[in-house]
Amino acid sequence: MSPLLAAEHDVDLWWSSVPEIGGTSAATRGSSVESRRSQAWAVCASVVRSYEPRGRVARVPGARPAVSGTEFEVSLTYAGSIVAIAVSRRRPIGIDAESLDVRIDGALARHALTVRELEALERLHPSRRREAFLRAWVRKEAVLKAAGVGLQVEPSSVETGIGRLSAASVVVPGAGSFRLVDLVLPGFACALAAGGTAPAHVRWHRAARPTDGAS
């Protein structure tokens, strides 16, 4: 048994950095995205094996990683130069992060936010709207990942609030309640969601960075 996650409400958060490939051409940007994706999944696989050497992880479009050979639940996010993996013991979890430098399309905000969240966003000074939206967005993504539905459910059907987190428990239609936590990761908006209403006891760990091409 892994020495980590002694209690069912524990959540281990692993993070690592992945290098970005420079260049402005479409081919170079595509190589950079694929390289970071490959390295992110390599970090995830390594983290899973640290709990159970026989554990295996596979990509599932629109859902949490599929993990076999272990009792743990896993969620993965990567943005910019970072990758983060959340691990729990049987408790559904989701994690999401976005760089605070990302440009926001107004249409996305109208699609993703509830009416109350949109009104709150519009009351903010324009200089604060991007960060407020991104924090709401990663909360919604984290919750929908934990629910196992991804963007199959409209983000605007989940109320997470704008700015400072006001609700620790969020309901996903048809999937129940989830505990939501804002995470501190400099330069990024980041959030964690865990199934149920019990607090999530979060512990951070630094994951080793794989070499290019690792799998």
Would you state the pLDDT for residue 212? 44
The pLDDT, as a whole number, for residue 4 is 60
- What is the four-CA torsion angle of 170, 92, 18, 46, rounded to 10 degrees? 170
Instruction: For the beta carbon of residue 52, count every other beta carbon within 10 angstroms.
Output: 16
130 Cβ neighbours under 8 A, 6+ residues apart: 100, 102, 103, 104
Structural contact between residues 22 and 212, judged by C-beta atoms closer than 8 angstroms: no
pLDDT of res. 153: 85
Show pLDDT as tens, one digit a residue, over the chain (215 residues).
454 665 667 899 999 988 664 444 444 444 567 888 889 999 999 999 999 899 899 887 766 788 898 889 999 999 988 999 999 988 999 999 999 998 888 888 899 999 999 999 999 999 999 999 999 999 999 999 999 887 788 899 999 988 777 558 888 888 899 999 999 899 999 999 999 988 888 999 998 876 544 43
Report all structural domains of the chain as residue ranges with CATH numbers, in order of start.
Answer: 10-206 (3.90.470.20)
pLDDT value of position 6: 55
The pair of structure tokens assigned to 127 is 């200089």
- Which pLDDT value is given to residue 76? 95
> Taking a C-beta distance cutoff of 8 angstroms, is the pair 189, 137 a contact?
yes
Cα distances (angstroms) measured from residue 89 to each of 4, 24, 115, 183, 209: 10, 42, 36, 20, 24
Q: How far apart are CA 200 and CA 206, in angstroms?
A: 19
pTM exceeds 0.85: yes
Token readout for 75 is 């969620």
Handedness of CA 215, 46, 191, 70 (dihedral sign): positive
